[in-house]
Amino acid sequence: MASPIDSADMQRDVSCLEKKRQILEQIVDITRAIEDLQESLNAVLVLGVDSKDLPEDALKLYGALSDRLRILPIRKIQEYYSNLEIIIRKQVNRIMNYASADFSADDEIEFITLSSDEDAQNPLEMLEAFKRTAQTAVSLRVLLRKRGVPTPGSPVQVPAQIIKQQLLHLETQERQQREKIKTKIEEMKQDIQGMIDNPAYPDVMKGMLREVVGNLDRDLGQLARGAPVDRLSFVRETEEIVVSEAETIEVEEISIEAVASPQLESNSSFSRKAARWLNSPWDVSWKEVQKGS
């Protein structure tokens, strides 16, 4: 029978996983930025098309409009659309600057993830906000068309051909980043499997680790199907994690009652912390979990 693993050894394993998760977080952030850029530029292209020629994908954006917007008077919808056009025209050159970045270069990654505006909005937040603005503008044009009000195309100052070239560049960049995500997930799977195969690990923690491996397997399937990175298991809202955390802790407490050894109790306590960390949003560090316990 294997001797119980020392908590210091488990700590080293978890610390190794944390480093890989931090790298994976950065790659996913970059990929999300690329996805936002693609959706933004596609929306900008659509704004240059007459409303009678709007593509099918643009018509689908109508479903994202709130009921409050849909019942507004035509004059107010036109006013909102005009305001959004102004914002888009002011920001599109900056968006094109980001779209031309080489996301495989360290200095470009720092440029898009660490720099900030005077209002403290970082580039990743700005890209997401611009995407929402551009897609809302398209949605309002669809709404006006449904109301019988045509709108002419309103091209921005960047030629459509240049935007299309940038979209091809972004497609290549996205493929490269998604391949990196796949590689890192497979590395994490291998590390976690090594922990599961270690006979000294407590069964409670092995069960939790098997669930993590299952999630990572599903993530690889999502990537293979081309799903947006937001759908991956480790890119989740905090509310979705609370229940799984509580369930994990409850199961472990039942197991601990039958354990008499102080060493095992210490290791099970560590297991609870590891369970909370592995199932927490990845902006939560291992140190934060330890302090909060």
pLDDT of residue 237: 40
Query: Looking at residue 5, what DSSP letter applies?
Result: P
pLDDT of residue 15: 85
Residues 5 and 209: their CA atoms lie apart, in Å, by 15
Packed helices 7-47 and 262-278: angle between N→C axes, nearest 10 degrees: 10
Please say whether the beta carbons of 117 and 126 come within 8 A: yes
pLDDT of residue 248: 28
Predicted confidence (pLDDT) per residue in 215-251, tens digit: 999 999 999 999 999 888 877 543 232 222 222 223 2
For the record, the structure tokens of 20 come out as 């890989």
For the record, the structure tokens of 208 come out as 């939790």
For the record, the structure tokens of 57 come out as 């994908």
**DSSP state letters, 58-113:** HHHGGGGS-HHHHTS-HHHHHHHHHHHHHHHHHHHHHHHHHHT--TTSHHHHHHHH
Residue with tokens 């459509």: 160
pTM value? 0.75
Pick from 59, 199, 220, 31: which is nearest to 127 by CA? Answer: 31
Sketch the domain layout of the chain as residue ranges.
Answer: 29-176, 198-292
